[in-house]
């Protein structure tokens, strides 16, 4: 099980890089060159982030992307939900039709506790916190 997939990793890296550039508009070419990501794959991710209101896009000569939200308002949990879907650890392999004790399952309760803790931690991580904690340019922060 992977908590963070490649889409989310690339999004975090791109947003962190753009955040470090302050007010500068960052081109896709610059992101591809600096972050060593495949252009078509990165463009798709940037389009999703633009559609979700996390990035502003600028067309034409000198075009590219800048942050649409403050870097301390972009949370890792929201990126995961946007790019991967809901965070769920407690999807039981036994459905109610197979498991008559699904409401009282001790393992399910423990996994739900773990999920709540993980979600709370993910909700506390921002692009700003990643940039401010020694994230190097181009690194998967």
pLDDT per position as a tens digit, 46-93: 999 999 999 999 998 889 999 999 999 999 999 999 999 888 776 666
Q: At what angle do helices 6-20 and 39-51 cross, to 10 degrees?
A: 80
User: Of all helices (H) and strands (E), which one includes residue 64?
Assistant: strand 64-67
Instruction: Give the residue, 33 or 97, on which the prediction is more confident.
Output: 33
Query: Tell me: the pLDDT tens digits for 62-72?
Result: 899 999 999 99
Query: pLDDT above 90 covers what percent of the chain?
Result: 64
Residue 10's Cβ-count burial label (10 Å; 0-12, 13-18, 19+) is buried
14 three-state secondary structure: helix
CA nearest neighbour of 46 among 17, 4, 73, 70: 17
- With a pLDDT cut of 70, the percent of the chain lying above it is 84
Using the predicted structure, report yes or no on whether residue 140 has a pLDDT greater than 50: no
Instruction: Work out the average pLDDT over 28-47.
Output: 95
- What element of type H or E holds 55? strand 55-58
- Residue 138: is its pLDDT beyond 50? no
Calculate the alpha carbon distances from 135 to 58, 126, 139 in Å: 26, 12, 7
| Residue 31 confidence (pLDDT) above 60 | yes
Dist CA 93 CA 69 (whole Å): 39
pLDDT band at 135 (very low <50, low <70, confident <90, very high): low
CATH topology of domain 6-132: Arc Repressor Mutant, subunit A (1.10.10)
* pLDDT for position 78: 95
């Amino acid at each position: 099980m992977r908590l963070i997939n490649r889409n989310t990793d690339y999004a975090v890296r791109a947003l962190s890089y753009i955040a470090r550039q302050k007010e500068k508009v960052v081109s896709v070419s610059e992101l591809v060159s600096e972050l060593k990501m495949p252009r078509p794959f990165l463009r798709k991710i940037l389009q999703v982030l633009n559609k979700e209101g996390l990035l502003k896009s600028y067309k034409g000569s000198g075009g590219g992307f800048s942050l649409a939200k403050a870097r301390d308002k972009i949370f890792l949990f929201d990126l995961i939900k946007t790019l991967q879907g809901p965070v769920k650890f407690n999807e039981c392999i036994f459905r109610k039709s197979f498991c008559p004790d699904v409401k009282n399952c001790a393992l399910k309760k423990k996994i739900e506790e773990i999920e709540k803790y993980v979600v709370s931690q993910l909700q506390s991580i921002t692009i700003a916190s990643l940039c401010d904690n020694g994230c190097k340019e181009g690194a998967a922060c």
